[in-house]
Amino acid sequence: MLNFEEELAKFKPSLELKDTEETIKNTPLVDVTDILARILKDATDKE
The answer to whether position 32 is within a domain reads yes
Domain that holds residue 39: 13-46
Interatomic CA distance for residues 10 and 4, integer angstroms: 10
- What is the full per-residue pLDDT of the chain (47 aa) written as tens digits? 889 999 999 988 777 877 888 888 888 888 899 999 999 999 999 76
The answer to whether position 2 is within a domain reads no
Interatomic CA distance for residues 15 and 9, integer angstroms: 17
Extended strands (E) in 1-47: none
The answer to whether position 6 is within a domain reads no
The answer to whether position 1 is within a domain reads no
The answer to whether position 29 is within a domain reads yes
Query: On the CB side of 21, how many CA atoms lie within 13 Å of its CA?
Result: 6
The total domain count for the chain is 1
H/E element, 2: none
The answer to whether position 7 is within a domain reads no
**pTM, to two decimals:** 0.40
